[in-house]
Amino acid sequence: MQTGIAKTGVVAILDSGQPGPVVALRADIDGLPVLEQNDLAYKSSEIGEFNGNQVPVMHACGHDTHIAMLMGAAKLLVDLKPQLKGKVKFIFQPAEEGAPAGEQGGAEVMVKEGVLRNPDVDVIFGLHISADTDVGVVEYRAGGIMAAVDPFKIVISGKQAHGAYPWLSVDPVVTAAQMIMALQTIVSREIKLLDDAAVVTIGSVHGGVRSNIIAEQVELVGTIRTLNPQARELMYEAMQRKVKGIADSMRASAQLTLPLDYQYPITFNDPALTSKMLPTLVRTAGEGAVQLVTAVTGAEDFSFYQEQVPGLYLFVGGKLLDLPKEQAPAHHTPEFKVEDAGMLTGVKVLVNLTLDFMQQG
């Protein structure tokens, strides 16, 4: 067993003693700075430190269930060792939710530190609990299932002036307003929406200090989400073109930083691997419980493993059958919770994917 990889990660290997592939199973293990508001016996009361501040800590995205599912799968696979061919690598990964300010973390660092080597991994499987999906359901998609994420920053510089004399200024606020609206047209007018999906979101706007001063500078911070490499390349090119063109037209200057501080690739399920393992999912969960889903614009750093080796990422349900979907507590909220029964499906999926892949070679 190896500890301390990517700071707090843990990796263990189960060697069957028989020749065969190396199958990696991954669970993310981090929590979030959220104060839990559930009435549960195991409700979190922990306090931690994040970016220099004391914060409450809660597993508000279900990573505690991911740990439990991988631990359960590990226990069963040890018991089933005579049926294994090859090795199983259990990866407990920190910082999927992002590293502290000024640090790198998560899957990207684990890959850099060699988690997929020694022994070399042939295939990797991962899953995520879903609070608004019925217990027992497994959701899958070949190709892009979760988006690439590319944060960006735009700094627009103009000329400061009195608010009563705007003709003496080069106004970065008005320039920013035009830029924000124009960036949305990349998706609405340049992405072929029948085939692709993309998102441009400006999440932060900062500029100016008072009502009668035209600011010298405005800063925009946002994110891009794309679901295939072609759309991602188009977004990169179009962002540069739009930012420069609008700034020039307004006599301002603008600097685009893209990506800003981190980026996640597309969570891309290898189509051949997905097809190969689909019968395993059906055998495990049942025909009606294995559902093809549309891609989502959330992101997952499991994608860094999939850049190196074929991977399959799935969702498993954690919602009671009689609970309306709209009443299910959302991920990343103080009320988040999932039903323990959902973990049984996840354990079975991890075990059967491993066994069947090893048997098929």
CATH number of the domain encompassing residue 227: 3.30.70.360
pLDDT of residue 255: 98
Same domain, 246 and 282: no
Tally of structural domains, the chain: 2
Same domain, 136 and 275: yes
Same domain, 301 and 230: no
Helix orientation angle between 341-360 and 63-79, rounded to the nearest 10 degrees: 50
Question: How far, in Å, CA of 116 to CA of 89, rounded?
Answer: 9
Same domain, 159 and 252: yes
Cα–Cα separations (whole angstroms), residue 100 to 7, 33, 95, 299: 12, 12, 9, 18
For residue 127, the Cα-to-chain-centroid distance in whole angstroms is 12
pLDDT of residue 101: 84
pLDDT of residue 92: 98
Same domain, 236 and 214: yes
Question: How far, in Å, CA of 88 to CA of 72, rounded?
Answer: 14
Instruction: Please classify residue 324 by burial: count the beta carbons closer than 10 Å to its beta carbon, then call 0-12 exposed, 13-18 middle and 19+ buried.
Output: exposed
pLDDT of residue 225: 97
Enumerate the active-site residues.
30, 96
Answer left, alpha or beta for residue 323, where phi above 0 means left and psi between -120 and 50 means alpha.
Answer: beta
Same domain, 34 and 118: yes
pLDDT of residue 332: 97
pLDDT-flagged residues of the chain (< 70): none
Same domain, 135 and 161: no
Q: What is the pTM of this model?
A: 0.93
Same domain, 253 and 273: no
Q: Which domain holds residue 311?
A: 2-146+266-360
pLDDT of residue 102: 85
Residue 38 exposure: Cα atoms within 13 Å on the Cβ side: 19
8-state DSSP, 153: E
Helix (H, G, I), strand (E, B) or coil at 304: helix
Backbone phi, then psi, for 33, in 5-degree steps?
Answer: -80, 70
pLDDT of residue 51: 87
pLDDT of residue 242: 98
Last residue of a domain, one of 199, 227, 257: 257
Last residue of a domain, one of 257, 274, 297: 257
Residue closest to 324 by CA, chosen among 129, 134, 128: 134
Same domain, 118 and 8: yes
Question: How far, in Å, CA of 328 to CA of 319, rounded?
Answer: 7
Last residue of a domain, one of 233, 257, 281: 257
CATH (domain of 340): 3.40.630.10
Same domain, 139 and 14: yes
Same domain, 278 and 244: no
Asked if the peptide bond before residue 229 counts as cis, ω within 30 degrees of 0, the response is: no
Per the DSSP assignment, residues forming a β-bridge with 23 are: 88, 123
Same domain, 297 and 227: no
pLDDT in tens, 188-234: 999 998 888 899 999 999 999 999 999 999 999 999 999 999 999 99
